[in-house]
Amino acid sequence: MHHPIGIVSTGSHLPDQVVSNEEIARTAGVTDEWIVRKTGIRERRRAAPHEATSDLAAAAARRALEQSGLRPSDISYIVVATSTPDHPQPATAAIVQHLIDARAAACFDINSVCSGFVYALAITERMLRADGGQGYGLVIGADIYSRILDYTDRKTAILFGDGAGAVVVGPVPEGSGVTHTSLQTRGDAHGLIRVPAGGSRLPAAPETLAQGGHYFQMDGRGVRSFVHEHLPAAVAGLLEEAGTAGDRIAHFVPHQANGAMLTEVWPSLGLGSATLHMSLEWYGNTGAASVPVTLDEAHRAGRLAEGDLMVLSAFGGGMSIGTALMSWAPTAHSTPPTATLPLAERCRGILPLLPAGLATM
């Protein structure tokens, strides 16, 4: 018999440096009040100059492994979701393997931008199921967007932070684990989110640097329209395929793109009984890391109960949407260190822009 596959443990890592809205606002030509009103973000973290994406990813992986009680040698696959890799090649996952000494693991990266973690989770779950449901995988979302931002562009500079989140995926008890996943891409909208230069179409050159082609660029209104049109349909389609009513879902963990946008789209998702988990107030949009970072904080704070139904959903460049339905497995959890408890312990209030009943971490 094949065991069900689910999340065995969680981990996350946020850099030490805190970057306030005031600091971002100075170069972006806006105010702290404007950033909070438009995004719900108050601060974010920034990687140190010596840190690369693999360093953040490895730190999150170690925390997930520690919680699981497994050794690095127990891991069969390491899949890193990132759009800010250490290098164009080799894969960042190979560097993570070296950093945590998981020599038996096959490793690769995927780039579905901010959807990457859910894509990686779906892929790893299927690989483990094909292996007979006996092995373990490390699924990591990690990004350092601070290296690719134009801090004079108020549309993008205000949104992003650096971070990494990880989960150990493996066999879980019957009746729990990942039950359904859905991966969708609308390539006709690929121009909404992009870094134009640095690849084979526009290789790095003095001209591309001078034109700012290596910076992250986004059509904010286009992204908002895409999310409003496609996210509710993706969630509804997943639940319909699973034969699960929306009022049975206990938790919704979305990509932490923008608090105002999530608040707008929330009523149309049909998940009125669920808790909407948000961590962006203090971390910003951490790209592929945002779903696992938010999940780790909810887990370590004891907010997830065995058997709770949960939907993970992320959207990002491509344009891509990944959704996953799971029944939360019995897993170990512990209270995180003070440094990683900004929302629960440092701020007891709810974001001003959120209606009553929505939960921040």
**Closest by CA position to 9, among listed 143, 128, 172, 135:** 172
Q: Which of 13, 21, 111, 114 is catalytic?
A: 114
Record the tokens describing residue 167, joined without a space. 């989960």
In contact, 294 and 279? CB cutoff 8 Å: yes
Give yes or no: 255 in active site.
yes
143 DSSP β-pair partners: 163
Structure-block tokens of residue 147? 């290296």
* Separation of alpha carbons 290 and 166, rounded Å: 10
Helix axes 21-28, 32-39, angle to 10 degrees: 100
CA distance 193 to 222: 9
Peptide bond into 319 cis (omega under 30): yes
Return d(Cα 53, Cα 57) in angstroms, integer.
6
Q: Is 107 considered catalytic here?
A: no
- Amino acid at the residue 354: L
Residue 345 dihedral angles phi and psi, to the nearest 5°: -110, -30
Task: Give the list of residues 6+ apart from residue 317 with CB closer than 8 angstroms, or none.
Answer: 83, 112, 113, 114, 190, 192, 193, 194
Angle CA 117–119–121, to nearest 5? 70
What does the alpha-carbon distance between residue 21 and residue 231 come to, in Å, rounded to a whole number? 28
Amino acid symbol at 346: R
**What does the DSSP assignment read for 55-89?**
HHHHHHHHHHHHHHT--GGGEEEEEEE-SS-SSSS
Give the separation between CA 283 and CA 46, rounded to whole angstroms: 9
Instruction: Choose the catalytic residue: 13, 258, 285, 299.
Output: 285
End-to-end CA distance of the chain: 38
Per DSSP, the three-state class of 129 is: helix
- For residue 215, report the phi and psi dihedrals to the nearest 5 degrees: -90, 155
Q: Which of 13, 180, 255, 277 is catalytic?
A: 255
Is position 258 annotated as part of the catalytic site? no
Query: Which residues are tagged catalytic?
Result: 114, 255, 285
